[in-house]
Amino acid sequence: MIGTKGVFDPLLPGLAGALDPQLMSSRLVPLLDDAPPRGCRAMAVEVLKHKPGRRCSLSYLLEGPGWQGRLFAKTYAGNRGAGIFTVMERLFRALPRQELVVPCPLAYFSDMKLLVTEYIDGVPFAQSLYLEPSDGAACRAASALAALHSCRASLARRWTAVHEVNNVERWTAVLSGRAGREPERARLLLSELQARARDLEIVSESTVHRDFYAEQLWDAGGTTAMLDLDDTRSGDGALDVGNFLAHLTLRPMQFPGTATGCAQAREPFLREYSRRAAGRILGGAFQERVRFYEAASLLRLACVYAARERWSGSLPPLLLDAAEHLLSVGMPR
């Protein structure tokens, strides 16, 4: 969490108002599920994550006599919050909370471009997966993902292999000005992904997260909660599996202490997901599709971390190595 002092973003028109608890009280208190006591109001706001010019995530503390509660909110630069609110409503209705918790959407204030949801209390799932190696953590992540993929939410927007490659292509611009072989390596990998995307098996569409990795899961009092559903679409479940596996490759490159947990998690995660996912999700060439999406994620991550000063010198070559290995092994053209 970061403080609100000095947080200013002219590209987020709703942020200034959203950072004012007094202003927000009249909007937030009526959204509370349990009838709050008389005099309840927003007491404090915390900035959880700020991506300048794009979005800002907030936590509100509300208090009244003998009562306390929290709400989560996110304000956007554009108008995408309204669509995200609709998607979250459909997910919330489609997913039994005993199988997977997704935050209940409460309101979208169009004048502030502010989406408000319930606040999920819990602890990050990543620590138990990365640092406390056990099959149980990996299987629980797989079970949560299979629940999302199996739900019957009706979503208008689709995400295909071609969309994925086009998105990766936009990211490769980050590498274009770098010295050395990395720009050429990225170009060749992208070309290979483009060729494979045209031949990739088409399967029945599922509800996909589109940015799934361990940090998106929380342990909420014994049940699993899934967060950050902004990019949810209809698509191939192999996309989320591949992205999750790519992050199991990434984390030990960043933090060597996670190496044992990440290595141990791969096999039980894949086994449990395959056991729980319906046949229509897996399709006949599931492993090939997972490799494709894992390689695409690794290439995209190489570009993402090339733009981050701390990692720009070390991570891109290692991630490109991993992507090249995946595309040269076990994926006949």
The string over 263-281, giving b where at least 16 C-beta atoms fall within 10 Å of a residue's C-beta and e elsewhere, is ebbeebbbebbeebbeeeb
Q: What is the spatial distance between Cα 120 and Cα 275, in angstroms, rounded to a whole number?
A: 28
> Could you give phi then psi for residue 154, rounded to 5 degrees?
-95, 110
* CATH domain 15-118 topology: Phosphorylase Kinase; domain 1 (3.30.200)
Residues 103-131: pLDDT tens digits? 999 999 999 999 999 999 999 999 889 98
Torsion on CA atoms 196, 197, 198, 201, rounded to nearest 10: 100
Host H or E run for residue 80? helix 80-94
> Could you give phi then psi for residue 212, rounded to 5 degrees?
-90, 125
Assigned token pair, 105: 């959407």
Residues 27-79: pLDDT tens digits? 999 998 766 778 899 999 999 999 999 999 999 999 998 889 999 999 999 99
| Bridge partners for 105 per DSSP | 117
Specify the pTM: 0.93
Domain ranges of the chain: 15-118, 123-328
Residues 244-285: pLDDT tens digits? 999 999 999 999 999 999 999 999 999 999 999 977 678 779
Q: What is the spatial distance between Cα 325 and Cα 187, in angstroms, rounded to a whole number?
A: 15
**Lowest mean per-residue pLDDT among 24-28, 202-206, 328-332:** 328-332
Class of domain 123-328: alpha beta
For residue 286, give the amino acid letter.
F
